Amino acid sequence: MIKNCLMVVLIVMLTIMSVAGLSAQDDMEIYALGVALPFTGSFGTFGQDFERGIDLAVAQMNAELEAAGSSIRFETASADTEQTPEGAARALQTIVQTTGAQVVVGPLTTAEVLGAKQFADENGVVIVAMASSGPAASIPGDNIFRVIYPPDTFSSKAFATIALERGHENIVVLHVDDAFGNGMNEQFIANYQARGGGEVASFAYAPQSMELSAEAAAVSATLAGFGDNAGFFCVCFPGAAEAFVQVAQIDPILTSVQWMGNEAMTTDEMLEDPGHAQTLANASFVTVGQSAESTPLTPIFINDFVAMFDKEPGIFTNYAFDAANIAMLTMLAAGNDGAAVKSMLPFISNHYIGTAVQAFLDENGDQAIASYGIYQVREDGSGFEEIGAYDGNTDTITYK
Amino acid sequence: MPPALLTTSLVNTIQIGSLYALMALGITLTFSVMKLPNFAHAEYVTAGAYAALIVSLSGSLNPIVILAAAFIVGALTALVSQLAVFKPLEGRQVSFYTLILSSFAIGLIIRYILFTMADYFNLFDLRIQIPLQIVYRQGSLILSNLFALVVPTSILLVIALTLLLNRTALGREMRALANNANLARVIGIPVERVKNVTWLLVGGLAGVAGALWGMQTAVNPLMGWVAIISVFAAAILGGLSSFSGTILGAYVVAFSENTIMLFLNFNFGVDLAYKPAIPFIIIIAVLLIRPQGFTQLIKRGGDLQR
């Protein structure tokens, strides 16, 4: 008898608890925040670290919403873009069809962003990309917002100006054959020649290539034909960049000219190899990257990230954190509706100062504030030092 | 095409062709003895490269130690895939296509284990720390210490493998297995033991090739997979049954990717970004025009099925 009574009490208690839980759950309004990033492939490390930055932003936002008594909570839904345009389209489709997400943070590269664009535009899904910079994705009126990193129309001007100031009469470009590399190459040639530069010879390599002996030989032979005042501009992804420097370091022509390169060549891994570090130092390697100035939020972000994940955030991870915050703030203001978010996002962005720089969008939905640092490898190859700054909005370089 | 460029491209052809040969021999051996075009071969290459990278990062720059570590890890990876997957599947007498699919699956599993490890220890796009130096220079002919390591190592391993196949009891058993597994079993050849040794050899060779490839490029979990199409093209050129044909195929693929590609670029403006298409073109052309590859052209020297 006692046993039966206890059983009844237990069932009643469980029922009450589950009903209470359900009603609490019913009161909650869950907004799905899509995350489409390359978790595999050579950019897999970036993707995984960016996801941690987004998770941190969501955790902080949910904590604030709970403290404020709001019934809204954010939940992330992630999918791997596999670092390809097709993969990005599949990832977006998966996220939207399984969770109904109206806003997706990511993808990473311009090629991936363009791959996901058609699905996003057709289904009213808003893409908030944090690091894509290829000019090919600068399209007015679409559903793509690139809120942190400015398009390469700015950095290509900086590289063109630096090349001319270094006295390069002709340039050889090696670039990855995708939307980012092709866009940078085209913009660089246009800016360099418009400012009085000479001939530019370009060589493209396939995005997945890891063995670049033929490319290095072609660049070297062309530089030899260009004469003494030629320069080299490398627009390469990590992995390929290391592979290129590896074969270039014993080439007599490539080791006797000055190099410029995109920001992806400034990884720690590149300078960990003494031969690579010395090659870049001898080539007076210069890169242009978004200014690394801190805001008051930067150290807080780093501390919070370390506290949550027990590791330092990787390069550009704060961009993902900022992009997620812009997306969530817009959803809080506009609701969980793609069209409303698309309409509201420029206003929110333009009033957002995060861990890196202020976001301010142009008519294409791209970051319009272009403040770059100019970084050169130290003579001993021990690291990069900031030697100047480029203001994209006034198109001026100031050296330290 | 400038003469200096021609010279450089030919040096690259020899160096890269030697690496392709090392990788492709394992594929030929697997196909001949086990009747399996093993797509997980790419991951044995990557596993060997990671073993070499870890040894080099932990302080040893002795090439023999680095290559030995790569051989052991590549060999064990291949043996585990045989014992854990291929052998049980063969026991169930699954179809040829099931075995191919399972080789894809094994490759994916190994690849993502390597991804997880590389992410945890931050081992992406690192190079095996053998410093690159010029050891010979005459005009535009420049040979590096890597060339001096890669080419002789590849040649020695190919000779050793050929001697093993043609001059030892184990080699005879392997060839018997390649010709007719049932007959080999009937005449008392310890088929399972021979298969296990073959897998060890295949994985070991792939591991060494991965270590050398990682000195040439950079090590990441996709490096073997990216290279495998060129390697398969070399093996298919060799008819998948001939060592000498496979070696010749490897140099033909490397020559096409380097010298011919540069010739097309400088003379006809063909973009170097089309380089990855070359092995596919070779594979399709061989399968359409000459499915037996070089097998009938080269009758002597390491043919497995005679």
Beta-carbon separation of B134 and A250 below 8 A: yes
Distance (Å, rounded) from C-alpha B262 to C-alpha A351? 52
CA of A274 vs chain B CAs: smallest distance (Å) = 8
For range A119-126, the mean pLDDT: 95
pLDDT at A7: 58
Over the stretch A170-205, which tens digit does the pLDDT of each residue have? 999 999 998 899 999 999 999 999 999 999 999 999
Over the stretch B178-233, which tens digit does the pLDDT of each residue have? 888 788 888 888 888 999 999 999 999 999 999 999 988 889 898 999 899 899 99
Interface list for A 353-372 with B (CB within 8 A): none
* Matching residue, tokens 């590549």: B74
CA of B140 vs chain A CAs: smallest distance (Å) = 9
Beta-carbon separation of A224 and B4 below 8 A: yes
Distance (Å, rounded) from C-alpha B91 to C-alpha A327? 55
Q: What is the mean pLDDT of chain B?
A: 88
Over the stretch A329-388, which tens digit does the pLDDT of each residue have? 999 999 999 999 999 999 999 999 888 778 899 999 999 988 888 999 998 888 888 899
Which of B126, B132, B266 to probe by mutation at the A interface, max A CB count within 10 Å? Answer: B132
CA of B196 vs chain A CAs: smallest distance (Å) = 32
Give the single-character DSSP code of B140.
T
The two structure tokens encoding residue B120: 């945890």
Over the stretch B131-181, which tens digit does the pLDDT of each residue have? 888 999 988 899 999 899 989 988 888 888 888 888 899 888 888 888 887
pLDDT at A125: 96
Q: pTM, whole model, 2 decimals?
A: 0.84
Beta bridge partners of B137: B142
Over the stretch A236-245, which tens digit does the pLDDT of each residue have? 988 889 889 9
Using the predicted structure, report yes or no on whether residue A256 has a pLDDT greater than 90. Answer: yes
For range B11-18, the mean pLDDT: 94
Beta-carbon separation of B16 and A213 below 8 A: yes
Does residue B244 contact residue B83 with C-beta atoms inside 8 Å?
A: no
Minimum-distance CB partner of A208 among B125, B133, B276:
B276
Beta-carbon separation of B257 and A214 below 8 A: yes
Angle between helix B96-121 and B63-81 (nearest 10): 130
Q: What is the mean pLDDT of chain A?
A: 89
ipTM of the complex: 0.86
Beta-carbon separation of A206 and B273 below 8 A: yes
Residues of chain B contacting residue A224, judged by C-beta atoms under 8 Å apart: 2, 4
Which three-class secondary structure string do you get for chain A?
CHHHHHHHHHHHHHHHHHHHHHHHHHHCEEEEEEEEECCCCCCHHHHHHHHHHHHHHHHHHHHHHHHCCCCEEEEEEEEECCCCHHHHHHHHHHHHHHHCCCEEECCCCHHHHHHHHHHHHHHCCEEEECCCCCHHHCCCCCCEEECCCCCHHHHHHHHHHHHHHCCCCEEEEEEECCHHHHHHHHHHHHHHHHCCCCCEEEEEECCCCCCCHHHHHHHHHHHHHHCCCEEEEEECCCCHHHHHHHHHCCCCCCCCCEEEECHHHHCHHHHHCHHHHHHHHHCCCEEEEECCCCCCHHHHHHHHHHHHHCCCCCCCHHHHHHHHHHHHHHHHHHCCCHHHHHHHHHHHHCCCECCCCECCECCCCEECCCEEEEEEECCCCCCEEEEEEEECCCCEEEEC
Using the predicted structure, report yes or no on whether residue A153 has a pLDDT greater than 50. Answer: yes
CA of B264 vs chain A CAs: smallest distance (Å) = 11
Beta-carbon separation of B272 and A40 below 8 A: no
Distance (Å, rounded) from C-alpha A192 to C-alpha A162? 10
Q: Please report the domains of chain A, with CATH numbers, ordered by start residue.
A: 28-149+294-369 (3.40.50.2300), 152-284+372-399 (3.40.50.2300)
pLDDT at A369: 87
pLDDT at A19: 47
Beta-carbon separation of B273 and A204 below 8 A: yes
CB pairs under 8 A between A and B: 125
Beta-carbon separation of A217 and B9 below 8 A: yes
Does residue A65 contact residue A73 with C-beta atoms inside 8 Å?
A: yes
Which pLDDT band holds residue B110 (cuts at 50, 70, 90)? very high
Which of B222, B223, B261, B266 to probe by mutation at the A interface, max A CB count within 10 Å? Answer: B222
Please name the residue of chain B whose CA is at the shortest distance from the CA of residue A242: B218
Beta-carbon separation of B16 and A211 below 8 A: yes
Percentage of chain A surpassing pLDDT 90?
67
* Matching residue, tokens 């870890």: B54
The two structure tokens encoding residue A187: 């913009």
